[in-house]
Amino acid sequence: MHVISRKKLLEAAQRHVDAGKPLDVWYRVAKKAEWKELVDVRPRLEKMSSLTVSPEYSALLRKIPPKVIRTEKENEIYTDILYDLDRRSKTLTPAEKELAELLTLLIEDFEEKRYPLPRTEPLDVLHFLMDQHGLKQKDLVDVFGTRSIVSEVLGGKRELNKDHIKRLSGRFRVSPELFFERTS
């Protein structure tokens, strides 16, 4: 059985503001429950579902039942459905938009596990962003404070600190995570 972590629930609640409270309620109920088998969950799940899911969305889920993607074939099927929804993105109903978001999460989860990308070092990210934005060393003095600090960082003699990361993130409009040192 697939377990949904609290972290994943919080991420979903951030992406889907209206789902935050129902997800929190479900988590609290599930955490205190003494279910032994999946059939024990069904009565509670059906009661909760009627409170949090529109009839149109329920109908879509019956037509395209989502599940954790485990094979390339399943990934292809869900990707084709998502492409179809994306082609009609301007005319999607709220339920279809929800389904598209759910399929996106399932596809991303599968592909992150199946095709992990190597983590890039922060200095490589910085060089790439500078290249893409057509920047030279002197253009980053406002981020680092002095030309010598820019030179030391770009030369690998000095590591990025929290302030540098914050300013770089804002300057390039990217996640600060890109500039964190690799831990594993």
Q: Residue 59 region, left (φ>0) first, then alpha (ψ -120 to 50), else beta?
A: alpha
Percentage of the chain exceeding pLDDT 90: 46
**Whether the predicted pLDDT of 157 surpasses 70:** yes
Looking at residue 11, its pLDDT comes to 75
pLDDT, tens only, 79-100: 999 999 999 888 999 999 999 9
Residue 143 has pLDDT above 90, yes or no: yes
What are the tens digits of pLDDT across the range 41-87?
566 555 555 556 788 888 898 899 889 999 999 999 999 999 999 99
Contact in structure between 75 and 108 (CB atoms under 8 Å): no
Mean pLDDT of 138-154: 94
154 neighbors 123 (Cβ within 8 angstroms)? yes
- Predicted local distance difference test score (pLDDT) of residue 33: 62
pTM beyond cutoff 0.75: no
**Distance, CA of 153 to CA of 123 (rounded, Å):** 8
The C-alpha atoms of residue 108 and residue 21 are separated, in whole angstroms, by 24
What does the domain layout of the chain look like in residue ranges?
1-52, 54-117, 122-179
Helical segments of the chain, H only: 6-15, 20-32, 38-52, 55-63, 72-87, 94-114, 122-132, 141-144, 147-154, 162-172
- Biggest CA-to-CA distance, the chain: 66
Top CATH class of 122-179 equals: mainly alpha
CA distances (Å), origin 171, targets 72, 122, 138, 180: 38, 15, 14, 16
Distance CA(66)–CA(27), nearest Å, equals: 20
